Amino acid sequence: MTDLGTRPPPALPALPTLRRAAPALLGYAAVRLLGLVALAVWSAARDKSAYKLLTARWDSVWYTRVAELGYGYEVRLPNGDVHSNLAFFPLLPWLERLLASATPMSYADAGFAVSVVASLAAAWGVFAVADHVYGRRAGVCAVLLWAVLPVGIVQSMAYSESLFTALAAWSLYAVLTGRWLTAGTLALLAGLTRPVGLAVVAAVWAAAIASSVRDRGVSYVQDRSTPATPHGAPTWRRALAMLIAPLGAAGYVLWVGHRTGKGPLGYLDVQAGWRNGFDGGAAFASFVADKFTSFPSALAGIGLIVGVGLLIWLYVVCVRQRQPLPLLVYAGVVTLLALCASSYFGSKPRLLLPAFPLLLPLALALARLRTSRSALVTGAVAVASAVYGAFWLNGSGPP
């Protein structure tokens, strides 16, 4: 019998079962299959290998080289730039090496297999977050929208985007449901996957601090139509989650600094060799401005401005709809890092791929339509996305 004046701790929400997530996962698999078929047909018409485009070009080659030979490989370009494989975080090549050593797969095959499994895990995680916040129908729509993004074909490549999104989505779900140690551990792994793992760390820290403040009786505005981040967990769990979360990213960055002999910030020098860095968006703004030097390219400049405006508008809508704090922090940091980096500008859409909370307002709007109408809209966008993805990967530059 429970003593008077005491209450049992609230039960944590159950994980969304495969049965509950099945419509989302089946829809996601169908969209991805459509994209792969379109890529195969387009590539065959151009006498190219679709599978090689997915597994053995651009960044995927660098990942498989790390998996096979470890770190230390670099290429010195004629202009003096040094491309070092230390720029690539280690979790994906670790998994490629593990799978290749346990199966007859090559490293490239292992990278593709990891991405396929991770993409399904990411879709399930996106569903879990959206279902928890807005309900099952919105969860299904969120997954489909994530699948039909114009750059959605990257989800099937031997890149780290799918793996990172899976870890980020499930870390955010763990935060939303009060599973602090799980959230911190997944944030650690996300930090070993991509530099933008800092966004997951920031979300865990923001949620933990806000939860602690609420426990001390200081309220903050939260829309009652959306669930708040659970509080009431032991303080030590939140503190340990905050401690664990940054260890992945910080550990790798410090290791690179030690290996290069350039101190704690040596990783920034490695990125500089790739012409990557954080300049507050100055290089991107200059890139857009240069588009207006001629009429044909001015149309592309207008398109870029509209695209950035749409991203900002979506984030404002997310704030107005009072999404839970960790989602707002995560999406905000991912978007900020993508837009304000001086990296290869053609890769910016890919860098924004993990920012799935930005899709939740669109998912809500799509969920309010009749099923037949939402299916028609999603199907049409899926076809356009599949064609664009095939065209994109058969282009000259990396995605």
Consecutive sets of 10 residues in the chain, 399 residues long: mean pLDDT of each? 40 77 96 97 95 93 95 89 94 97 96 97 97 96 97 96 98 96 97 97 96 68 46 80 97 95 90 85 81 80 89 96 97 95 81 97 95 93 96 84
Tell me the whole-structure pTM to 2 decimals: 0.92
* Per-residue tokens: 296: 């044909």
b or e along 79-94 (b: 16 or more beta carbons within 10 Å of the residue's beta carbon)?
eeeebbbbbbbbbbbe
* SS3 category, 74: strand
In whole angstroms, give the CA distance from residue 190 to residue 46. Answer: 37
Contacts 24+ apart (CB under 8 A), 301-304: none
* SS3 category, 351: helix
* SS3 category, 294: coil
In a domain, 9, yes or no: no
Q: Residues 154, 161: contact at Cβ < 8 Å?
A: yes
In a domain, 14, yes or no: no
Which secondary-structure segment (H or E) carries 84?
strand 82-84
385 lies in which domain range?
19-393
In a domain, 12, yes or no: no
Residue 217 pLDDT: 65
**The residue type at 231:** H
In a domain, 224, yes or no: yes
Residue 229 pLDDT: 52
In a domain, 11, yes or no: no
* Per-residue tokens: 77: 């370009």
Could you give the number of structural domains in the chain? 1
In a domain, 246, yes or no: yes
In whole angstroms, give the CA distance from residue 167 to residue 334. Answer: 14
**The residue type at 387:** V
In whole angstroms, give the CA distance from residue 123 to residue 130. Answer: 11
In a domain, 147, yes or no: yes
In whole angstroms, give the CA distance from residue 310 to residue 317. Answer: 10
In whole angstroms, give the CA distance from residue 277 to residue 393. Answer: 25
In whole angstroms, give the CA distance from residue 204 to residue 269. Answer: 28
Q: Residues 16, 126: contact at Cβ < 8 Å?
A: no
- φ/ψ of 280, rounded to 5, equals 75, 10
In a domain, 1, yes or no: no
- Label residue 105 left, alpha or beta by phi (over 0 means left) and psi (-120 to 50 means alpha): beta
* Cα angle: 200, vertex 206, 212; to 5 degrees: 135
Residue 175 pLDDT: 97
Beta bridge partners of 278: 341
